[in-house]
Structure 1
Amino acid sequence: MSSHTSTSHISFHPTSDNPSASHCLIYFITGNPGLLGYYDIFLKTLNDLLSGTNQFSSSSNIFHIYGQSLAGFEDVESEPIPASPYSLESQIQRSQKSLEGLRIPSGPRHDQHYDSIILIGHSVGSYMLLEIIQRLRKSSSPLKIRSGILLFPTVTHIAQSPSGVRISALFRIPDFPRKASIAAKGLVWLAPRRVLKWLVGLVTRMPHDAVDVTTRFLRSRMGIWQALHMAKEEMETITEDRWDEDIWGIEHTDIDVKAEIPKLIFYFGDNDHWVANHTRDALIAARGQSDCDNGSSKPIMLIDKGGVDHGFCIRHSESIAEKVKVWIDDMMFNS
């Protein structure tokens, strides 16, 4: 097993000398704020769980995991600081380009395309996931997207959510993201790092690792502006259902076409403050599988009953990783 972890990237790559092994890439897309550090425990737990699968099925399926922070949320030494925040569209393009550039890193099939890809997106990362799937399909990409797992997805009408209503009112103030970030940075930089870290922990009650990530985000040169700018675009862009029928698994008489449609699993929160219950329920009714849709290619849409927050990565990483592992096993071994 080779792995690489930094503040902005994480990758796990099991090694295999079996030329007939099937290599599956699990590509993760963060929410907003787009710092991968929030998901460190989630991805490490998922890798540990899948490592058992790798050992059990070493002759057939090898799972690789890759994730990266979205652009602009933290200071990266190798990247220049942009003059303005990245748009939601540019984040989608950057994530797609990153995905298209990944290859099997070692072994007999070094530098070949992965045999299958599972995309996992959280919050706005789920919206980006659907956009990437649709764009790859339209471009006749050689990448084989097997499935998508959308965690606490904000894919329609985010401005109608409880938090969306509140933040949309602020965005009516001209140039609010930039002005608010200047004010916030002024306060942040007055506090020494250790004091700021203590205050973040006191106010948020986050675990130690999440406090570290949040402190790094607050002290970055663009992070606050980037988060607010992107949130404003989310309110304006994530409205009506905008994807083609193929994305939603509308039934085809052509079995080959049906088999190429990625299997989607939506996992919604119960009373998620970033997803209005009525817009969630409308999407489930319009696009999700019903009880009589056995064998359907429509998405599976589930609602959490365990009280997990929208920001699952703060306190519920292990339990969500366990669910994701079960879904991956089902998609890989029972489909």
Structure 2
Amino acid sequence: MSPKSRFSEISYRPVVNDPSASYHLIYFITGNPGLIAYYDTFLATLYDSLSRSKNQSSNYFHIHGQSLAGFEEEEPELSSPYSLEDQITISLTSLQRQRIPSGALQGQPYASVILIGHSVGSYILLELIQRLRKSSSSLNIRAGILLFPTVTHLAQSPSGVKISRLFRIPDFAKRASSVAKALVSIAPKSVLKWLVGLLTGMPNDSAEVTTRFLRSSMGIWQALHLAKDEIDFITEDKWDEDIWGIEHEETDQKPHIPKLIFYFGEKDHWVANHTRDALIAARGRIDIESSSSKPVMLIDENGVEHGFCIRHSESIAEKVKIWIENAMDGESEA
């Protein structure tokens, strides 16, 4: 078994012929910049950990993730980048098309779906759940795992404050990307990769992905354009109470609520501490033993940075593996 593609798409899908097996989809949504290759180690580690687990002998997990639109080197240059709304729509369409690829149940929908989102991917994740619920979709979303989520008041974060000032400049995203592309075009790829590693301290694989991103036809413009949309639209808590697991008075008629686990950074430059703490107080629970259906909201205590996929893929994958197994067992634990 190997991933379908290293670049715009990564899919880990074991081939088995057991007609009694239960197939579950883990659908991953990237942050910004939205290149799935940044998460190669994370997704590979997660797949290997789940495959070796003795707790899920009858369950087979298929993992799928794809780059957000507009970021890949081979994509043609368009007249304008994709908006945040475009990214949500494209992700929703992709999710709804996922089917079991082989075996006795080939072509059938998955028994359940677990969504994982990173950064703005967590915002997209909540949007997908809400839109699927409103459309009365038959997809069984069992759980959502939100890693270093930016889901409210992005402009109040330390980095949000800084970048908001830049976006006051008319047409900043396009102008800045044009200047950046001109500078990038001067350097050969090998030199550019060396500079990326030197200036960012990224390991070799992440520096390679970043170099591809910088050399893509519209990746820089896409990233800045999407960031402006994030600042403009990621503001107040906007989701229905069903998303947050608030119980209905008519408990006998309460629809299934996906289990949500939020994992925040302790010092995240894209999430203000006061907005994070306010969200936890209003919507979450930290008592993992509680029978409440409200989301579990945890804060990292290991110094993991917002861009966990650069240096902490393995440790976060091990946490996510435990959360997935407990979600399958009907529990959510840290």
Please classify the TM superposition score into its range, dividing by the shorter chain length.
over 0.9
1:209 and 2:216 aligned: no
Whole-angstrom distance in 1 between the partners of 2:173 and 2:239: 29
Q: How does 1:239-258 map to 2 (within 5 A)?
A: 239-254=235-250, 258=254
Residue 23 of structure 1 deviates from its aligned partner by 0.9
CA contact (8 A) 2:149 2:263 kept: yes
Residue 57 of structure 1 deviates from its aligned partner by 3.8
Which string of whole-angstrom CA distances, capped at 9 and with x for unpartnered residues, describes residues 103-134 of structure 1?
00011111000000000000000000000000
Whole-angstrom distance in 1 between the partners of 2:253 and 2:76: 43
Change in Cα spacing, 1:194 to 1:299, as seen in structure 2 (3 Å) is: same
Unaligned runs of 5+ in 2: none
1:327 and 2:323 aligned: yes
Whole-angstrom distance in 2 between the partners of 1:256 and 1:217: 50
1:74 and 2:76 aligned: no
Residue 21 of structure 1 deviates from its aligned partner by 1.5
Residue 189 of structure 2 corresponds to 193
Whole-angstrom distance in 1 between the partners of 2:162 and 2:52: 44
Residue 45 of structure 1 corresponds to 45
Residue 197 of structure 1 deviates from its aligned partner by 0.8
Residue 256 of structure 1 deviates from its aligned partner by 6.0
Residue 255 of structure 1 deviates from its aligned partner by 5.2
CA contact (8 A) 2:26 2:61 kept: yes
Amino acid at match of 1:64: H
Whole-angstrom distance in 2 between the partners of 1:154 and 1:86: 19
Amino acid at match of 1:189: S
Residue 15 of structure 1 corresponds to 15
Unaligned runs of 5+ in 1: none
Whole-angstrom distance in 2 between the partners of 1:56 and 1:249: 27
1:314 and 2:334 aligned: no
Q: TM-score, normalised by structure 2?
A: 0.96
Which string of whole-angstrom CA distances, capped at 9 and with x for unpartnered residues, describes residues 17-52 of structure 1?
222221110000000000011100000000000111
Which piece of structure 1 moves more, 181-190 or 80-89?
80-89
The ranges of structure 1 where at least 4 consecutive aligned residues each deviate by more than 6 angstroms after the TM superposition are none
Whole-angstrom distance in 1 between the partners of 2:126 and 2:288: 25
Residue 6 of structure 1 deviates from its aligned partner by 2.5
CA contact (8 A) 1:266 1:300 kept: yes
Change in Cα spacing, 1:108 to 1:164, as seen in structure 2 (3 Å) is: same
Amino acid at match of 1:159: A
Whole-angstrom distance in 2 between the partners of 1:321 and 1:143: 25
Residue 56 of structure 1 deviates from its aligned partner by 5.9
Amino acid at match of 1:42: F
Percent identical residues: 69
Residue 333 of structure 1 deviates from its aligned partner by 2.1
Whole-angstrom distance in 1 between the partners of 2:135 and 2:93: 13
Which piece of structure 1 moves more, 310-319 or 254-263?
254-263
CA RMSD of aligned residues (A): 1.5
1:222 and 2:210 aligned: no
Residue 62 of structure 1 deviates from its aligned partner by 0.8
- Equivalent residue for 2:274, pick from 267, 272, 278: 278
Which string of whole-angstrom CA distances, capped at 9 and with x for unpartnered residues, describes residues 254-286 of structure 1?
556556100000000001000000000000000
CA contact (8 A) 2:76 2:217 kept: no
CA contact (8 A) 2:56 2:325 kept: no
SS of structure 1 residue aligned to 2:3? strand
CA contact (8 A) 1:258 1:297 kept: no
Q: TM-score, normalised by structure 1?
A: 0.96
